[in-house]
Amino acid sequence: MSAADGSTLTRATYPIDQPFYDRLIGSRDQFTVVSETVTDHTGYGFRVAAGQAFRLTMLEAPQILDVCMANADDPTEHFFSGAQMTIEGGKITRGIRLWGTPPRSRPIATCIADSVRVQENVRGTRDHFAYGAHCNPHLWHLHAGVHHRPCYDNLRYGYAMLGLSQHAIHDNVNLFQKGAYDPYTGSAMVEESDARRGDHIEFYAEIDLVVSVSLCPNGSGSDGLRESWSESGPLVPVHPIGVTVLDTATRPPAWPPEE
Ligand SMILES: [Zn+2]
């Protein structure tokens, strides 16, 4: 890749046992179901053991999911979007690892499936990104003048299901939200998801995880934040999702990688 001034830009590379992930992805049809849950609740929390995977499925229509992940034994180790941008970039799809906070600074989960067919466009927007944070009461007051139940409250509820407080909420990933950063202004752009009914994304747990999922009140996603809630409630539908925990029968690779 060449920059406009003629200099060459290179992307940092980090060690990855690619054959391990190729084998893991190739064995997906042998995964066994541990649990299957349908939730149309606004927030949902669950545990995933290291070596298990979890799948989030659009049962009726696309639904923005803000998802927090943390170490089940030490939730102060959690997904870290700053490190993610440096190491992997802002997009999430099959093959992208999700990185956690220092001092361990290691992959905590890896995306092993993503069925969304991206509608390519000049803005570079696509589903699933790593930098969007989550909507919160202050944001809704600023945009819509109301405070119903934003992602912050949903994530709080999901973690409460696991006995964790709101202090476990940190950086999150934004799944089934289509977006990008404008390269010139740096401002975030969002638009309607490309996902269809039945689309799913799947993550392999590199460590024992606690996961909190928010079904965002912005539904399938657009920049119509201001219009999507009113004093009387949501004006856009919030769609149910499937949460499936799977046993992969594959232990995570050692970290740091062995030479
Ligand atoms: Zn939200």
Q: Is residue 88 part of a domain?
A: yes
Q: Please tell me the distance between residue 135's alpha carbon and the centre of ligand 1 in angstroms.
A: 4
Phi and psi, residue 97, nearest 5°: -90, 150
Place 145 in a pLDDT band, splitting at 50, 70 and 90: confident
- Is the C-alpha dihedral spanning 11, 79, 252, 75 positive or negative? positive
Q: 3-state DSSP call for residue 21?
A: helix
Q: Checking phi first, is residue 225 left (phi over 0); if not, alpha (psi -120 to 50) or beta?
A: alpha
Q: Please tell me the distance between residue 216's alpha carbon and the centre of ligand 1 in angstroms.
A: 4
Q: Please tell me the distance between residue 211's alpha carbon and the centre of ligand 1 in angstroms.
A: 16
CA distance 173 to 22: 23
Q: Do the Cβ atoms of 50 and 245 come closer than 8 Å?
A: no
Confidence (pLDDT) at 222: 58
Q: Is residue 6 part of a domain?
A: no
pLDDT at 250 over 50: yes
Q: Please give the torsion angle defined by the CA atoms of residues 141, 216, 208 and 74, in that order, rounded to the nearest 10 degrees.
A: 10
Q: Do the Cβ atoms of 258 and 42 come closer than 8 Å?
A: no
Lowest mean pLDDT among 84-93, 167-176, 213-222: 213-222
Place 31 in a pLDDT band, splitting at 50, 70 and 90: very high
Q: Please tell me the distance between residue 200's alpha carbon and the centre of ligand 1 in angstroms.
A: 19
Pairing of strands 241-247, 52-58: antiparallel
Q: Is residue 208 part of a domain?
A: yes
Q: What is the mean pLDDT of residues 197-213?
A: 98
Q: Please tell me the distance between residue 49's alpha carbon and the centre of ligand 1 in angstroms.
A: 27
Q: Please tell me the distance between residue 153's alpha carbon and the centre of ligand 1 in angstroms.
A: 9
Q: Please tell me the distance between residue 258's alpha carbon and the centre of ligand 1 in angstroms.
A: 40
Q: Please tell me the distance between residue 98's alpha carbon and the centre of ligand 1 in angstroms.
A: 20
CA distance 239 to 224: 17
Q: Looking at the 3D structure of the chain, how many domains does it have?
A: 1
Q: Please tell me the distance between residue 214's alpha carbon and the centre of ligand 1 in angstroms.
A: 7
Q: Is residue 145 part of a domain?
A: yes
- Is the C-alpha dihedral spanning 209, 48, 24, 36 positive or negative? negative
Confidence (pLDDT) at 202: 98
> Domain range for residue 168?
35-247
Q: Is residue 24 part of a domain?
A: no
Q: Is residue 99 part of a domain?
A: yes
CA distance 211 to 204: 12
Between 175 and 233, name the one with better pLDDT: 175
Between the alpha carbon of residue 244 and those of residues 31, 125, 238, the distances in Å are 11, 27, 19
The one-letter amino acid code at 116 reads V
pLDDT at 4 over 70: no
Count of CA atoms in the C-beta half-sphere (13 A) of 19: 0
Taking Cα atoms as reference points, which of 131, 74, 130 lies closest to residue 103?
74
Q: Is residue 87 part of a domain?
A: yes
Q: Is residue 10 part of a domain?
A: no
Confidence (pLDDT) at 141: 77
CA distance 210 to 200: 20
